[in-house]
Structure 1
Amino acid sequence: MILVGLILAGAAVCVAVGIIAENTAPATLSVFGQHVPGVTSQAQVFVAGVIVTIFFVIGLTIASLALGRSMRVRRELRELREEHEESLTTLEMERQQFQRELARARARGGVPQTTSDIPVAGHRDPVSPFFDQSA
């Protein structure tokens, strides 16, 4: 969109330069050597200038809006990256803390629970009378 706005503004400038450079008579309008039909008074030449100016302003507005949006998106992406890095750092610190706690628990002689000691839903313990179906 920035490019479209700049192209539109540039085209308006080119047309304005062409009008200024080619017009020698006060009530005719020619652009790059071509006479513009229907323009026979100074008021019509003025209106043509206003139209070119409007296109120039529209082009600059499109370019500035697109540039602002682009900058806003880049800022948001940068903030999201920083937030992501911060959360990764926090998770890494928590992981290291848990590893230290586990190492301390093992060093004190405490027997940590292994995955085979954790009960699993739907798994029947054959020595438990509660799940013994033979009774």
Structure 2
Amino acid sequence: MVFLGFLLVAAALAVGAGVVLDNTDPANLVVFGQAVPVLENEWQVFLAGAGVAIVLVSGMMLIYSGAARRIRTRRDLRDLREEREESLTTLEMEKRRLQRELAHARQSSRRQGGRPQAAPREPAAQGVPAAGPAPAGNRSQVAATSPFFDRAE
């Protein structure tokens, strides 16, 4: 979009420069050494100049809109990256908190002399395998530390 705008601006400037530099007669329009037969009156030359100005303004608008779109896209991508990083940080903090709670629950059950509670198996995180085999038997008989894990599957 920006390239097309630059192309239109360059074309308008080239045509305008050609008209200004090659026009010596008041009503004879010469563009790049060639006489334009349709434009013989002053008002026709004026309308041709207005047409060149419209092309120039259109090109400038395309440049502006393309640059504005690029800026918006970059800003949106930056915001999404920041949001993703914030989400990852929040998830990591939540994971650490849950690991601490699980460790605390295991320690408190060991202190009470009871059988340690089995933790639900989590998928291996970042290539580190989960510790120990899965508990054998019916899952509903295994004590859980939260209502989420009390479900019988």
Q: TM-score, normalised by structure 2?
A: 0.73
Tell me which residue corresponds to 1:113: 118
Tell me which residue corresponds to 2:78: 78
Tell me which residue corresponds to 2:23: 23
- What's the offset of the Cα at 1:32? 1.1
* Unaligned segments of structure 2, at least 5 residues: 121-134, 141-151
**Distance of 2:57 and 2:17 partners within structure 1:** 16
* Unaligned segments of structure 1, at least 5 residues: 122-135
* Higher relative contact order structure (alpha carbons within 8 Å, sequence separation ≥ 6): 1
Where does 1:48-63 land on structure 2 (aligned, <5 Å)? 48-63=48-63
1:8-43 deviation per Cα after TM superposition (whole angstroms, max 9, x unaligned): 011101110111111111111111111112111111
SS in structure 1 of the partner of residue 87 of structure 2: helix
CA RMSD in angstroms, aligned pairs only: 1.5
**Distance of 1:114 and 1:24 partners within structure 2:** 93
- What's the offset of the Cα at 1:105? 2.2
Q: Aligned AA for 1:37?
A: P
Aligned residues: 121
SS in structure 2 of the partner of residue 80 of structure 1: helix
Q: Aligned AA for 1:75?
A: R
1:111-131 deviation per Cα after TM superposition (whole angstroms, max 9, x unaligned): 22244363353xxxxxxxxxx
**Distance of 1:10 and 1:47 partners within structure 2:** 19
Tell me which residue corresponds to 1:89: 89
Q: Aligned AA for 1:45?
A: V
Q: Aligned AA for 1:118?
A: R
1:34-79 deviation per Cα after TM superposition (whole angstroms, max 9, x unaligned): 1112111111111100000000001111111111111111111111
Tell me which residue corresponds to 2:130: none
- What's the offset of the Cα at 1:106? 2.5
Q: Aligned AA for 2:90?
A: T
